[in-house]
Amino acid sequence: MIRNGIDCIDRHYDLFKGKRLGLITAPSGLNSDFVSTIQILHERFHLAAMFSAEHGVRGDQAAGALVDTYLDPMTNVPVYSLYRKDSKRLSQEMLDEVDMVVYDIQDVGVRYYTFIYTMLYALEDCAKAGKEFVVLDRINPLDGITVEGNILKSGFQSFVGNYPLCVRYGLTIGELAVMANEQMNWNCKLHVVRSDGWERRMLFPDTGRAWVMPSLGIPRFDTALLYPGTCLFEGTNISEGRGTTVPFEMVGAPFIQAEKLADEMNGKKLPGVVFRPVYFKPTFSKYQGEQCGGVQLHVLDSRAIRPLETGITLMYAIRRNYEQFAFLPPFKEGSRPFIDLLCGDTVYRDDHLDVLAMLEQFREESRAFTRIKQQYHLY
């Protein structure tokens, strides 16, 4: 079985010994025996504080819910929020409690997924404060080779895209930390506890590990694989499947004719995927309690599918066929529409967009990013 960084921690006992540790983690922070990183660090070392990203260190906070400081009931260790209304950063007061910050959260390898920005913010904060930072590395479930999409442009930074990555970036979190630390000249004293046995070509099913949901919105590997493309629907008035048992695998709206859309999409012969007509009623989020028509995306070949291109093609098929389609307005006055933050550009909203030309431009940016990222491979 492939082992993540937490499974290899015994090799690095001296790194943690005698230090006050601050841990950034989530329910996916487990070793191969399903023992939490919280428990492991608390029993073996001095776990002085925990820092909570979105969803909380034990997954008991709803998506988007703000988290206050509290004592963890299992360890009596204080938990400080990195998902506050006014900030998502480590404060000086928090950093005064620790000598070293440790990060262990399963990533999905997609630019929109907010946990990586919690990590990068903390890395920068530790650099400024002169604190050591440790990444307990984890495998990238979408492999370490395939890159998809455009590079985020300057001026489009947000918590769903705050670093010049492609949408699917083909790095582990440890490699990403090393790259950012060097490229941004943070010069943090950074340590990466490497995974063991992982090869870059591996998709998650190749690792022999059990899937632990990184968050409730990513219940299966297929969800994570489709997420680079179907997450785009969060910037539209089309349901991305939240409020169903297969979020990000099913999209639709009350005005969509399911069979017609499925026939059109299957006619495009996109690699590795088939579209099945579906009807569903979300229990929350968009169109709560309303019947939607749409499609479920079924992955037939995990290596052949290009999920971002699939999602873009689906989005523009719906936009072309249904005048009710709309991109959502900005959350607040003066900010960018969410679709622009997901894209890292304004191109998706271009009324005269040549989709094929855009996809070719994205492929060129992916090739350029691939050349850059290879300098930071640890595996």
Q: Check which CATH number belongs to the domain holding 340 and give it.
A: 3.90.1150.140
91-94 long-range contacts (CB < 8 A, ≥24 apart) are 92/129, 94/22, 94/49, 94/51
DSSP string, 56-124: -TTS-S-TT-----EE-TTT--EEEESS-SS-SS--HHHHTT-SEEEEE----SBTT-THHHHHHHHHH
- Report if residue 252 sits inside a domain: yes
Give tens-digit pLDDT for 277-300: 999 999 999 999 999 999 999 999
The pLDDT value recorded for residue 68 is: 75
- Report if residue 216 sits inside a domain: no
Give tens-digit pLDDT for 32-44: 999 999 999 999 9
pLDDT of 266 strictly over 70: yes
Q: Tell me the CA end-to-end span of the chain in Å, nearest whole number.
A: 16
Residues 190 and 225 in one domain: no
Give tens-digit pLDDT for 53-78: 877 899 876 666 677 788 999 999 99
The pLDDT value recorded for residue 59 is: 83
DSSP string, 253-274: ETT--HHHHHHHHHHTT-TTEE
Is 117 or 64 the better-scoring residue by pLDDT? 117
The pLDDT value recorded for residue 64 is: 62
Residues 118 and 139 in one domain: yes
Report the pLDDT averaged over residues 233-261. Answer: 98
The pLDDT value recorded for residue 102 is: 98
Residues 152 and 295 in one domain: no
For residues 54 and 63, the answer to whether their CB atoms sit within 8 Å is: yes
Residues 110 and 228 in one domain: no
Residues 87 and 117 in one domain: yes
Residues 151 and 27 in one domain: yes
Residue 43: count other Cβ atoms within 10 Å of its Cβ: 10
Residues 96 and 152 in one domain: yes
Q: 131 lies in which domain range?
A: 5-208+372-376
- Report if residue 214 sits inside a domain: no
% the chain with pLDDT above 90: 93
Three-class SS state of 238? coil
The pLDDT value recorded for residue 73 is: 92
Residue 184: count other Cβ atoms within 10 Å of its Cβ: 14
CA gyration radius for the chain?
21
Residues 234 and 172 in one domain: no
Mean pLDDT, the chain, whole residue set:
96
Residues 134 and 181 in one domain: yes
Residues 57 and 166 in one domain: yes
Report the pLDDT averaged over residues 229-254. Answer: 98
pLDDT of 303 strictly over 70: yes
Ranking 59-68, 162-171, 223-232, 264-273 by mean pLDDT, the lowest is 59-68
Give tens-digit pLDDT for 167-203: 999 999 999 999 999 999 999 999 999 999 999 999 9
Residues 56 and 150 in one domain: yes
- Report if residue 88 sits inside a domain: yes
**Structural domain count of the chain:** 2
For residues 296 and 341, the answer to whether their CB atoms sit within 8 Å is: no
- Report if residue 360 sits inside a domain: no
Residues 196 and 257 in one domain: no
- Report if residue 172 sits inside a domain: yes
The pLDDT value recorded for residue 65 is: 67
Residue spans of alpha helices (H) in the chain: 13-16, 37-44, 92-95, 115-129, 173-183, 221-230, 258-267, 307-321, 338-343, 355-373
The pLDDT value recorded for residue 330 is: 96
- Report if residue 363 sits inside a domain: no
The pLDDT value recorded for residue 55 is: 76
Is 332 or 211 the better-scoring residue by pLDDT? 211
Q: Check which CATH number belongs to the domain holding 203 and give it.
A: 3.40.50.12170
Amino acid identity of 80?
Answer: Y
Length of the chain counted residue by residue: 379
The pLDDT value recorded for residue 360 is: 98
